[in-house]
């Protein structure tokens, strides 16, 4: 059932179905709660499945200031308090949603018994060519574009970011939030996670490759890594039955 609630003065869209222990689903950058429909529909016979549109995405309003991972985690905590969910059995996060879950649980802001991390992001290398290019392109584009008509500015910046593989334009109005998030490396904080954790990655994923899962598997003490064949970054869409099977077995 689709619902809305006001959290931190942000009109927030979410869905809740089923009864039992609570599973909280956190989607990735540029996505929405509907990305988990197949999984939540399959699990609602045993669990209460809660999917939230994070601020700036889906049916939830954009925040008035830039969010980092910590702010998103705090938002999720306040959201759960608002809808009176006192205990969470598992957070299930995809990509940036997984990074938010790790950030929150590592610091005690979010609490659960288990973590399910699908193609989770959070591995950054400030000196990498890609991130260096991102910063340089952003700076150069800003300077040059000021002299051009607005529509030309947008086309130029879009092409520049696309050339280095950045998805900032998926939600261009959240540029400041995007830049904060892509600068956060949470590998060291992941060592503080005490939840039983499963890391699920697609073997064809180039956005958050299997190496990311290996980093987090070595950092999180009670974790296991599962690789899904023939799956890309949206592994729960590419191979829904296989991903669901791994999640169902882990939750049991």
For residues 38 and 14, membership in a common domain is answered with: yes
pLDDT at 5 over 70: yes
* Same structural domain, 165 and 199: no
Q: pLDDT for 72-117, tens place per residue?
A: 999 999 999 999 999 999 999 999 999 999 999 999 999 999 999 9
Domain-ending residue, one of 137, 158, 179: 179
Q: Are residues 51 and 146 in the same domain?
A: no
Question: Is residue 98 located within the same domain as residue 169?
Answer: no
Co-location of 149 and 207 in the same domain: no
Higher pLDDT, 129 or 20: 20
Q: Please choose, from the candidates 43, 175, 185, 168, the residue with its C-alpha nearest in 3D space to the C-alpha of residue 127.
A: 185
Give the per-residue pLDDT at 142.
52
Element (H, E) at 103: helix 96-106
CATH classification at residue 75: 3.40.50.1820
Q: What integer pLDDT is reported at residue 161 of this predicted model?
A: 43
Among the candidates 179, 203, 219, a domain finishes at: 179
Residue 23: strand, helix, or coil: strand
Q: How many domains does the chain have?
A: 2
Q: Is the pLDDT of residue 221 over 60?
A: yes
HEC letters along 47-99: CEEEEECCCCCCCCCCCCCCCCHHHHHHHHHHHHHHCCCCCCCEEEEECHHHH
- Token pair 């689903």 is at which residue? 25
Do 10 and 117 lie in a common domain? yes
Let me know whether 157 and 232 are in one domain.
Answer: no
112-166 pLDDT per residue, tens: 999 999 999 999 865 444 544 444 445 555 555 555 565 555 455 445 444 434 4
What is the percentage of the chain residues whose pLDDT exceeds 70?
A: 81
pLDDT at res. 233: 95
- pLDDT above 90 for 201: yes
Cα dihedral: 225, 229, 230, 234 (round 10): -30
Q: Do 140 and 78 reside in the same domain of the chain?
A: no
pLDDT of residue 245 exceeding 70, the answer is yes
Q: Of 251, 120, 121, which is closest to residue 196 (Cα–Cα)?
A: 251
Residues 16 and 97 in one domain: yes
Q: How many CB atoms lie within 10 A of CB 21?
A: 16
Query: Which helix (H) or strand (E) covers residue 42, if one does?
Result: helix 37-43
What Rg do the C-alpha atoms of the chain give, in angstroms?
Answer: 18
Interstrand relation of 48-52 and 10-17 (parallel, antiparallel or unpaired): antiparallel
pLDDT category of residue 20 using cuts at 50, 70 and 90? very high
Strands 196-202 and 22-26: unpaired
Check residue 242 and give its pLDDT: 98
The arithmetic mean of pLDDT across residues 43-51, rounded, is: 98
Q: Which pLDDT belongs to residue 146?
A: 54
In whole angstroms, give the CA distance from residue 249 to residue 239: 16
Question: Which one of 164, 179, 194 terminates a domain?
Answer: 179
Q: Are 133 and 119 part of one and the same domain? A: no
CA distances from 17 to 43, 234, 248 (A): 9, 23, 17
User: What is d(CA 31, CA 98) in angstroms, rounded to the nearest whole number?
Assistant: 13
Q: Would you say 69 and 110 are in contact if contact means Cβ atoms under 8 Å apart?
A: no
What is the extent of the structural domain holding 172?
129-179
| Res 62: pLDDT | 94
Q: Are residues 91 and 143 in the same domain?
A: no
| Cα gap 195→190, rounded to integer Å | 11
DSSP H/E element including 2:
strand 2-7
Tens digits of residue pLDDT in 166-179: 444 456 678 889 88
User: Is there a single domain that holds both residue 100 and residue 223?
Assistant: yes
Whole-number pLDDT of residue 182: 87
């Amino acid at each position: 059932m689709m619902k809305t609630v006001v959290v931190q003065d942000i009109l927030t869209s979410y869905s809740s179905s089923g009864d039992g222990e609570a599973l909280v689903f956190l989607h990735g950058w540029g996505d929405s709660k509907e990305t988990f429909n197949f999984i939540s529909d399959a699990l609602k016979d045993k669990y209460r499945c809660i999917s939230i549109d994070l601020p700036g995405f889906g049916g939830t309003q954009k925040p008035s200031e830039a969010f980092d991972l910590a702010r998103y985690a705090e938002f999720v905590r306040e959201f759960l308090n608002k809808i009176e969910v006192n205990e969470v059995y598992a957070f299930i996060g995809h990509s940036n949603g997984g990074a938010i879950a790790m950030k929150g649980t590592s610091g005690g802001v979010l609490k659960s018994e288990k973590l399910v991390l699908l193609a989770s992001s959070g591995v950054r290398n400030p000196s990498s060519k890609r991130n260096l290019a991102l910063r340089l392109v952003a700076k150069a584009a800003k300077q040059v574009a000021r002299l051009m008509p607005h529509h030309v500015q947008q086309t130029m910046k879009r092409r520049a970011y696309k050339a280095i593989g950045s998805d900032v334009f998926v939600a261009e109005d959240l540029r400041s939030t995007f830049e904060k998030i892509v600068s956060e490396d949470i590998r060291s904080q992941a060592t503080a996670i005490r939840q039983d954790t499963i890391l699920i990655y697609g073997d064809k994923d180039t956005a958050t490759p299997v190496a990311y899962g290996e980093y987090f598997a070595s950092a999180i003490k009670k974790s296991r890594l599962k690789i899904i064949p023939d799956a890309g970054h949206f592994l729960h869409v590419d191979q829904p039955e296989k991903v669901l099977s791994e999640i169902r077995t882990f939750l049991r």
